[in-house]
Amino acid sequence: MRKFAKFGIVLIAVLFVSTAFSFKQTQPEKSVLKWYDWNEGYPKAIKEGKIVLVDAYTDWCGWCKRMDRDTYSNQEVIEKINKHFIPIKFNPEIKGVRYNLSDTTFSPEELYYLLTNGNSTGFPTTYFIFPKKMSLFYEPGYKDATSFLAILNGAVAESEK
């Protein structure tokens, strides 16, 4: 009887491990969102003909952190951004950084002023730059994944006009 009990325990352990392994293998692979800094992302967007998505945030902004957690981690949002956009994280409060745009360099404050056209928009604000059209629009405030997907779809449609 004791040999049968040991065999049963081993059999259960093998079934458990093989089930866990097969479950792990059947899980779809999640997409990852790779953020760029301005000096790497902006030229990449121009080279690839993609829309520049700039997430303007600050370290103290709770809504920015929530958007990172709730919106930018959503798989549909990630897949849409990866396909049509080059995402750039931009904190205008960082000191000692210079941002390149064509032949000019800007401080964080100057780039923020350029993006906002002198209007304060608060944080987070998402900027969409269309390099082919040399145009820009922005969406201030927190957006949940569903709302943000609609905005992304609108930006893609605008770029294809």
Domain boundaries, given as residue ranges, for the chain: 38-159
Q: Look at residue 158 and give its three-state secondary structure.
A: helix
**What does the pLDDT profile of the chain (161 residues) look like in tens digits?**
555 445 444 434 444 444 444 444 555 678 899 999 999 999 999 999 999 999 999 999 999 999 999 999 999 999 999 999 999 999 999 999 999 998 999 999 999 999 998 888 899 999 999 998 889 999 999 999 999 999 999 999 999 88
The whole-angstrom separation of Cα 103 and Cα 100 is: 7
Is this structure's pTM higher than 0.85? no
Instruction: Enumerate long-range contacts of 153-161, CB under 8 Å, 24 or more apart.
Output: 153/80, 155/51, 155/53, 155/84, 155/85, 155/128, 156/51, 156/80, 156/84, 158/128, 158/130, 159/51, 159/84, 159/130, 159/132, 159/133
Beta-strand runs (E) in 6-152:
51-56, 85-90, 99-101, 104-106, 125-130, 135-140
Answer CATH for 38-159 from 3.30.230.10, 3.10.100.10, 3.90.470.20, 3.40.30.10: 3.40.30.10
* Separation CA 54–CA 46 (nearest Å): 14
